[in-house]
Structure 1
Amino acid sequence: MIVGLHHAQITIPKGAEKEARHFYCTVLGLEEITKPDALKKRGGFWLQVGDKQVHIGTEEGVDRHITKAHLAYQVTDLFYWKEVLENNNIPILSSVPIPHFERFEFRDPFGNRVEMIKEV
């Protein structure tokens, strides 16, 4: 029986951890958590997001700019996040409206599609 979602993973190019940490930990303010020693040699790092985890792995040969795959972060203030991202030169992309939610999308510095979403 599936009882929940433990984590989701996105990838960045090998060797881009410093830039990714800056974006995810400094710009977005997410908390890095300790990755098990047995997995550290694979590169990347892990983040805590509420009661879930986001794993940032490393992978070459992937064009992240063309996929619809994405993470959606639930937020309380969309305007705040638009401002933070624009101040860090991250273009905001339009999203198709869906009932009961306000949202927008952007691509992280590595091309991963990301959504900020707020229930209304």
Structure 2
Amino acid sequence: MIIGLHHVQITIPKGAEAEGKAFYCEVLGLSEIDKPDALKGRGGFWLSVGNQEVHVGTEDGFDRFATKAHLAYQVEDVGYWRERLESQGVELLEAVPIPGFVRFEFRDPFGNRVEMISVSTGVGDKNQV
């Protein structure tokens, strides 16, 4: 029986860890966590997101802009994230409205698709950028 989600993995180009940490730790404010010693030589880094983990691995030869695969971060205030990311020069993308939620999408500096989503309060919510 599946009882939950332990972690998800995304990838960035080999050697881009510093840029990845700058975006994910500084811009998004996620906390880096230690990788097990046995995996440290593989590159990448791990992040804590609530009770889950995001494992950022490295691989070359993959067009991240060509996929719909993505992470959706559940947030309390989509408006805050919209403003924060725009102030960092991140291009926000229109998201198809989903009843009961407000959300938007963007691509990280490596092309990975990312979504910010929260439950709609129904007051002044904007489902689209």
CA-CA distance at 1:87 after TM superposition: 1.1
In the alignment, what sits opposite 2:35?
35
CA-CA distance at 1:84 after TM superposition: 1.0
Normalised to the residue count of structure 2, the TM-score between the two structures is 0.92
In the alignment, what sits opposite 1:97?
97
In the alignment, what sits opposite 2:110?
110
> Where in structure 1 are there 5+ consecutive unaligned residues?
none
Percent identity, please: 69
Distance 1:58 1:103 in 2: 28
Aligned residue pair count: 120
Runs of 4+ in 1 over 4 A off after TM superposition: none
Normalised to the residue count of structure 1, the TM-score between the two structures is 0.99
What's the CA shift string for 1:33-79, capped at 9, x where partnerless? 00001001100000000000000000110000010000000001111
In the alignment, what sits opposite 2:88?
88
Structure number with larger C-alpha Rg: 2
CA-based RMSD of the aligned residues comes to: 0.5
In the alignment, what sits opposite 2:7?
7
> Where in structure 2 are there 5+ consecutive unaligned residues?
121-129
